[in-house]
């Protein structure tokens, strides 16, 4: 596979800044917001968004993580990864506007699983979706509310999001299979 970088650190920073502003505008401020990152990289992105929202909106926003592994409908086709604990912020999600945060939106199956997992943890007033990269190819009728970058890609390609907290650098790459 050959890889090409499509987003650099500055691009990711700009995208997250824009998403933070859009979340604040959509919600008319930070009140009543809860950000839940979908492991692994969605958690780091949610923490960054929370810091930006606090900086621009003037108050802290609770952040947690929502593990969706056991809610996926494709466990038979894909090897399971280790589950991570779901961490709902103190105060819960009931009556709050929950923003699910993930790195890449592809088929929509992770987000469908997240909605199921969310139901087991409370009843939010509304659920929104923030995605760093939307690559298309939806299999379910799921559409993000906040998108950092639309990156049309072939099904055979792989989109990789790297974040400093886990990977040592911020970068989005697209891997293309080598011609045989």
Tens digits of residue pLDDT in 18-42: 999 999 999 999 999 999 999 999 9
CATH code of the region 2-69+93-176: 3.40.50.2020
State how far the Cα of 23 lies from the Cα of 106, in Å rounded to an integer: 21
Report the distance separating Cα 70 and Cα 80, nearest Å: 9
**154: Cα separation from own chain's centroid:** 21
| CA pair distance 3, 156, nearest whole angstrom | 13
Instruction: Please give the model's pTM, rounded to 2 decimal places.
Output: 0.94
């Amino acid at each position: 596979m050959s890889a090409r970088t499509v987003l650099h650190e500055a691009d990711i920073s700009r995208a997250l800044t824009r998403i933070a502003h859009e979340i604040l505008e959509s919600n008319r401020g930070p009140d009543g917001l809860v950000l839940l990152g979908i492991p692994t990289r969605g958690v780091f992105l949610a923490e960054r968004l929370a810091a930006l929202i606090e900086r621009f909106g003037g108050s802290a926003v609770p952040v947690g993580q929502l593990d969706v592994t056991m809610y996926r409908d494709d466990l038979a086709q894909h090897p399971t990864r280790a589950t991570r604990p779901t961490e709902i912020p103190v105060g819960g999600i009931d009556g709050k506007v929950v923003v699910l945060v993930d790195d890449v939106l592809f088929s929509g199956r992770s987000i469908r699983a997240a909605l199921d997992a969310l139901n087991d943890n409370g009843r939010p007033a509304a659920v929104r979706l923030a995605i760093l990269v939307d690559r298309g190819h939806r299999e379910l009728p799921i559409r993000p509310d906040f998108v950092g970058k639309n990156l049309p890609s072939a099904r055979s390609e792989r989109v990789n999001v790297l974040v400093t907290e886990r990977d040592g650098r911020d970068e989005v790459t697209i891997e293309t299979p080598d011609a045989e």
